[in-house]
Amino acid sequence: VPVRSNRKMLFICGVYRIDHTMNPELNEVDVRTLEAVGVLISSYLRKTELIQLTEADRIKTEFVTNMSHEFRTPLTLITCLLEEIKNNKSVILHKEEAGKFETVLQNTERIRQLIEQLLDITRLETDGEKLIVEKHNVGEFMTALYNSFTSLAKRNKVKFSYSLNSLSGETWYDEDKLEKIVSNLLTNAFKYTRDEVQLSVEVRTEGHSTDIIISVRDNGPGIPTEEQALIFNRFYRVKKAENASREGTGIGLYLVKKLVELHLGRIELKSNRMGSEFIVSIPASGSQYKIINIPASPLQIITDQITHSKGLRNNKKVKSTIILVVEDNSELNRYISDSLKDIGRVISSFNGKEGFDTAVHEIPDIIISDVMMPVMDGMSMLRNIRSNKITRHIPVILLTAR
């Protein structure tokens, strides 16, 4: 770099340690140069640290997703087999054995819920979770959700009340997100209550906006004032109350807050020594959402496409329904295949490439596939299926931790 004769350049090549005071002759330009170099160095260090943190977070997220997939595969098998035993009329369990069996089922479900919550948080923090708003009857939806918690209330000897006010027949919301929000709040309420939980739902119109207002109240010991601002933080756990049925994980309320915000809503906490109340408010009309993702009816699509598949196979004189299962875990593959054998002929493949080749040759009516597989993953297989004239009409169901 050319330097004019009337200017000076200062090069910092290292650090020289001294044990006595120095008074170097620095003019104003030298001082400004040193300040600029200091700013550049600190900026570089901050950017380097940010890059390292971002990379560490990416690796952590990928690890959580991959491990969750590994956990869910054997957990799915365990859960399904336990449910089969429970529903099998020929299996008679004694009272003590039935109690132990129910405990196993409950704890298996608990593990499944924790894995689901971790995956939900991972998707929310990486912007992988999308809002899918559709028109529903919120009264019917909340009544069904209330009924699913009545057995828990009876088991814990808790008075569980429910009220509906000013409900409109046409409300818009993401059913999956709202179910997770309310279920988490109710689970917390039953965990910390003394003997009463209240659920209330109201559709309220003010001006041009219509909101669904959901309140979950318990009569537990309440949340200390100094902790109320922290309970929505990730992994923060309120000090365990004496009557709490189990200690929390610190992810439920964090997940609730993130889901409420994704749903363009807000959540409020009111708590004292007489109990706690969580109030959720989300938009209820379609016009209040900037983007409404309304998917087509999957049942109608699948029905139409299965009819189309059978038409294409007429030349081969194949009459039975063909189901292709693509899953690299042999035990889960066998379980899914056995579960569907009464519907039609089931063909198994153990990776995406094998699945695509089979789809081209057999033209199945429907494909059920994993996503994370060796050789070719489920998404790559799906792209190949959609880009092939012979197979692009075939409906595909993906079963995945992602």
Q: Which amino acid is at 164?
A: L
Task: Give, for 211, the enclosing helix (H) or strand (E).
Answer: strand 209-218
User: Taking CA 42 as the corner, what is the angle to CA 41 and CA 48, rounded to the nearest 5 degrees?
Assistant: 90
Compute and round to an integer the Cα radius of gyration of the chain. Answer: 29
Q: How far apart are CA 281 and CA 174, in angstroms?
A: 13
| CA-to-CA separations, 299 to 141, 303, 306, 310, in angstroms, rounded | 20, 6, 11, 17
Q: Which of 67, 117, 98 has its CA nearest to residue 372? A: 67
The pLDDT score that the predictor gives to residue 152 is 86
pLDDT band, residue 161 (cuts 50/70/90): very high
Contact between 91 and 225 (Cβ < 8 Å): no
Q: What angle do CA 178, 211, 164 make, to 5 degrees?
A: 75
Please report which confidence band the pLDDT of residue 43 belongs to, taking 50, 70 and 90 as the band edges.
confident
CA separation for the pair 342, 336 (Å, rounded)? 12
| Strand 196-206, strand 159-165: pairing | parallel
Q: Which tens digits make up the pLDDT trace of 352-361?
A: 999 999 999 9
pLDDT at residue 349 above 70?
yes
What are the structure tokens assigned to 372, written together?
């994370």
Quick: pLDDT tens for 182-204: 999 999 899 889 889 999 999 98
Give Cα 107 to chain centroid, integer Å: 20
- For the segment 199-234, what is each residue's pLDDT rounded down to a tens digit? 999 998 887 788 999 999 999 888 888 888 888 887
- Mean per-residue pLDDT, 370-376: 90
pLDDT in tens, 275-292: 999 999 999 887 777 655
Alpha carbon of 240 to those of 186, 231, 294: distances in Å? 17, 13, 42
pLDDT at 306: 61
Residues 6+ apart with CB under 8 A from 237: 247, 248, 249, 250
Across the strands, what pairs with 204? Answer: 211
Give the pLDDT of residue 402.
Answer: 61
pLDDT at residue 398, rounded to an integer: 92
Q: Give the pLDDT confidence score for residue 181 in this predicted structure.
A: 94
* pLDDT recorded at residue 21: 59
For every residue of 270-339, DSSP letters joined together read EEETTEEEEEEEEE-SGGG-S-------HHHHHHHHHHHHHHHTGGGT--S-EEEEE-S-HHHHHHHHHH
Contact 211, 273 (CB under 8 A): no
